[in-house]
Chains A and B, each alone.
Chain A
């Protein structure tokens, strides 16, 4: 399967020095046919909302970053099949949140 999923603990860089506020990033290829369309967007935001962390998504590692808990904003991104989704999260449950998000994208939102 054509999935690139990886997690990089980015907490080492920067000098905030607060272990609770670590920033975690991950990226995964969007392989489902319709892209981040209505239903996938709703499923992605529902997954993100299960976590307390601040979570953002982008189609480029350089941003612009979009709130992953807002279906309205995610629909504005119009990510299509074949695009790389980049996530970054900060908060206590950030690693778990990104693991869950990467998984739902990899599973093609359980649609195919």
Chain B
């Protein structure tokens, strides 16, 4: 029978497919049995993981095959499970014993001075998770059928990135928020997503319609509903293809005001289907996923940044320094157990406390700046002093590179404006450019958490108080001749674009999947007679 489960629209579009349940391993605990049965359970899970990885190895080539081949070798090795079995002997449940053993193994890799070893901790984390999934009898998401609708309480960004979305599919979450990190990723990839349907998610099975426009999930849909969903998907596809047809053209408002539209990326993969000509450069590069396993690897970071500059072919590439913390923890770097991580040590606050790691990123960025117009953007800047401390560290890195005779160039140093106090005191920041992080600015200004579905309606960028801050920053930028852009989700939201342009924003940066839609919305706006003072 058809059931309608209302939630919040997190990523528009319509998906129609089989539900695949995702249960996070994180919170699961196993009821401990006898020592022998715990050992058997672990042995079975390792054996099943080995079979799955070995099967995968046969179907891959190149680097992916090497990575999987390494995982096969480790899983075949009894030394991997030795300390887990010893812990089971001491009375631990199989899952906790395995977690503990792998945490020790991973820690061993992460303390290495050698970049190549540290990078391999990601393989161990994969192995750890895979065995746990088998231990709990959870399906592996990477094996979800093409076009599946992933259903869960919440979905970690890493799990999203592990899924093949090329054949469509959608996401339904019991918790979550339209402004969570994973929702942002979903919008970027054009994956329809509904969040906040509550505990009902556990009962979702069979064929599901995800209506990312209305924020509605239909289970057991009638033939009529299926026909209507298909019709709507077709209509949506048509208006999207009209927008797509003009995607690569510049964005001008009705009155002819040129708006710069850049893209937000988290890595080279985001650029796969996009020509640089389609946009005005990269307005935000999130480096959390790029450098999570290369915190001290200058060469690997440099190569990634260089790849972005090569793609942009002379257009500006804005790279945000590590914005860990908040909902983006990095083990061993961010602080665990903060009562409110969004109000804690994150972004530049952490970078300044880890000058060694920050230096690696600044050096890699300065080296890449020799290849094209690279701009460094500091996240979560609250006080002018933080900008100056970062500038001093950048200057030191530039001096080092000069002394070493390594090719480099001084990048423009700008800040993200996402802390309300900084927005209101913007004239005190001597930054080369300002980029308004509307997601965090909105969450902090409205006191409504990004990830809390209960308060999602409060976190509205169109709140007059939030728009006033944006207008204040835009006015300051115009007065001193420094670029002001906006790189949050609002920049790609047709509902918000008119208000942002009227507030004085003339440059936005959006997920690549929203480029066409953002430009189409901009072309509908008429700024004549409504210009903020020049």
Contact = CB atoms under 8 A, between A and B. Distances in A.
B455 interface: no
Interface string B175-211: 0000000000000000000000000000000000000
Given A39-B66, A39-B70, A78 B79 contact: no
B116 A72 contact: no
A58 to B, nearest CB: 16
Contacts of A80: 114
Contacts of A78: 112, 114, 117
A75 B117 contact: yes
B116 A35 contact: yes
B73 A67 contact: no
Contact of A76 (B66, B67, B108, B114): B108
Contacts of A35: 114, 116-117
Contacts of A37: 116-117, 120
Contacts of B109: 75
A42 B114 contact: no
Given A39-B66, A42-B70, A42-B73, A73 B114 contact: no
Contacts of B74: 71-72, 75
B87 to A, nearest CB: 16
Nearest to B114: A80
B123 A71 contact: no
Contacts of B70: 38-39, 41-42, 71
Interface residues of A, number: 17
A97 to B, nearest CB: 19
A53 B80 CA distance: 22
A35 to B, nearest CB: 6
B69 interface: yes
Nearest to A40: B116
Contacts, number: 48
Contacts of A3: none
Interface in A22-42: 34-35, 37-39, 41-42
Contact of A71 (B67, B73, B114): B73
B80 A34 contact: no
Interface in A58-112: 67, 70-73, 75-76, 78, 80
B27 interface: no
A45 interface: yes
Interface residues on B, range: 10 to 19
Contacts of B117: 35, 37, 75, 78
B300 to A, nearest CB: 12
Nearest to A67: B79
A84 to B, nearest CB: 16
B115 to A, nearest CB: 9
Q: Is the interface of A mostly helix, strand, loop or mixed?
A: helix
B73 A34 contact: no
Given A35-B114, A38-B66, A38-B70, A72 B120 contact: no
B273 interface: no
A35 B119 CA distance: 13
A6 to B, nearest CB: 26
Interface string B62-93: 00001101100110011110000000000000
A70 B66 contact: no
Nearest to B77: A72
Contacts of B116: 34-35, 37-38
Nearest to B82: A72
Contact of A70 (B69, B79, B112, B120): B79
Contacts of A38: 66-67, 70, 116, 120, 123
Contacts of A71: 70, 73-74, 77
A72 B80 contact: yes
Contacts of B69: 39, 42
A34 B116 CA distance: 6
24 contacts: A35-B116, A35-B117, A37-B120, A38-B66, A38-B67, A38-B116, A38-B123, A39-B66, A39-B69, A41-B70, A42-B70, A67-B79, A70-B78, A71-B73, A71-B74, A72-B79, A72-B105, A73-B77, A75-B109, A75-B120, A76-B105, A76-B108, A78-B114, A80-B114
Identify the 5 closest CB pairs spanning chains A and B, nearest first: A72-B79, A38-B70, A71-B73, A72-B77, A37-B116
